[in-house]
Amino acid sequence: MNPAALPGSSLQTETPVASAVRKGLCARPKRLPPWLFYDSDGSHLFDQITRLPEYYLTRTERAILAANAAGMIAQAAGLDGAEPARLRITELGAGFADKTRLLLKAAVERQGDVLYEPVDVSASALEAARVRIGREMPGVRVAPRLMDYTHGLELEPAGDGERRLVLYIGSSIGNFEPGPAAQLLLGIRAGLEPGDTLLLGVDLRKGESTLLAAYDDAAGVTARFNLNLLARLNRELGADFDLGAFAHRAVWNRSESRIEMHLESLKAQRVRLASLGLEASFRAGERIHTENSYKYAPGQAEAMLAAAGFTPESTWTDKRGWFAVCLGRAQ
Ligand code: AVJ
């Protein structure tokens, strides 16, 4: 099923999508990485998810940021005893940058203007962030950085008297298993100077029914988001997935403390992926594991920051204790 790599064959020049799909569908159990969700349709579906009644994450984190943005910015600028610095703000995974505005606004209020560096692998996401923020937020200068931050951060040093505040919000870190998450934080730390800060947003553990509803909403948007992955493979890899023959599944894995999303084959079937020269067969009930979304215990984000060389200085949370935003300072 996996054709030998011939000299000059397409295997050597495969796109990241093609090689991730080949690897994932040849693995047992089958899996596909969650970054594949975010083509243009998938990004719009995710934006819809953030507004669903069941998807508490975005509105809970937004409320925490809205209530505390000025304090977060003041602390990042230097409540650690050193001379208060000007901040530049670097955001990992630009997305639609909606919650970010709250922090950018607080920074502009504090220091008059601010340099905002959204970091993303998607040039179109960066361009959208640049246009929108640049147009709607006078005082914010946008300097997009096209890079894959999961392989480390290569940033120019902040200027004299300047400190960098890195935003990694939205519980994006929750997609990574503990080992890779620790590596990712170490990579961020390695790109920073002592005194710089990281603001990390994490989703906290809570009742199973609340968690399951957030990942299996009544309107079926999350199901469409998950299934769009197969639609994307049809569009981009000439695959012939029958979207009606797969179903969205969300599962709470208690021992790993994570929500898992899977796509379950509803019957025995074969799927061709023309551009990969690959045929994948599925048993009835067989699943493709498409996402992990880790839910953290109180104190766990602080421990992860500390293990990566940050001093956890403050944690902000909501009344129900559903979501946490932690500030760590690079040692
Ligand atoms: C963007 C990774 C934080 O895990 O909640 C939403 C993605 N998946 N619904 C999450 C997602 C299904 C989301 N993150």
pLDDT of residue 68: 98
DSSP state of 121: S
Whether the CB of 216 sits within 6 Å of ligand 1? no
Å from CA of 270 to ligand 1 middle = 29
Q: Which residues pair with residue 167 across a beta bridge?
A: 91, 199
**DSSP classification of residue 37:** G
Secondary structure class of 305 (helix, strand, coil):
helix
Task: State yes or no: cis peptide before 29, omega within 30 of 0.
Answer: yes
Token duo for residue 242: 């029958």
The residue whose CB lies within 8 Å of the most ligand 1 atoms, and thus the one to mutate among 91, 215, 293, is: 293
State the pTM of this model: 0.93
Q: What is the mean pLDDT of each run of 10 residues along the chain (331 residues)?
A: 48 86 98 95 94 98 97 88 81 82 96 94 86 92 92 86 95 98 97 96 98 98 98 98 98 98 98 98 98 98 98 98 98 95
- Assigned token pair, 67: 């209530």
Per-residue model confidence (pLDDT) at position 7: 53
pLDDT number for residue 11: 52
Q: Which residues pair with 119 in a beta bridge?
A: 92, 145
What is the Cα–Cα distance from 162 to 196, expressed in whole angstroms?
A: 9
> What's the confidence (pLDDT) of residue 5?
47
Instruction: Concatenate the DSSP letters of all residues of 222-256 into one string.
Output: HHHHHHHHHHHHHHHH-B---GGGEEEEEEEETTT
Cβ 293 under 6 angstroms from ligand 1: yes
The confidence score (pLDDT) of residue 106 equals 97
- CA of 293 from ligand 1 middle (Å) equals 7
Residue with CA nearest ligand 1 atom 2? 172
The pLDDT score that the predictor gives to residue 2 is: 45
DSSP strands (E only) in 1-126: 86-92, 114-120
> In this structure, which residue's CA is closest to atom 1 in ligand 1?
172
Under 8 Å between Cβ of 229 and 193: no
Ligand 1 centre and the CA of 173: distance in Å? Answer: 10
pLDDT for residue 159: 83
Name the token pair of 269. 């079937």
- Ligand 1 atom nearest 291 alpha carbon: 8
The predicted structure's pLDDT at residue 156: 86
Residue 94: what pLDDT? 72
> Does the beta carbon of 172 sit less than 6 angstroms from any atom of ligand 1?
yes
Ligand 1 contact, 222 CB (< 6 A): yes
Is 171 near ligand 1, meaning CB less than 6 Å away? yes
Q: Whose CA is nearest to atom 4 of ligand 1?
A: 293
Distance 300 CA to ligand 1 centre (A): 19
Residue with tokens 């079937």, as numbered in its chain? 269
CA 175 to ligand 1: nearest atom: 2
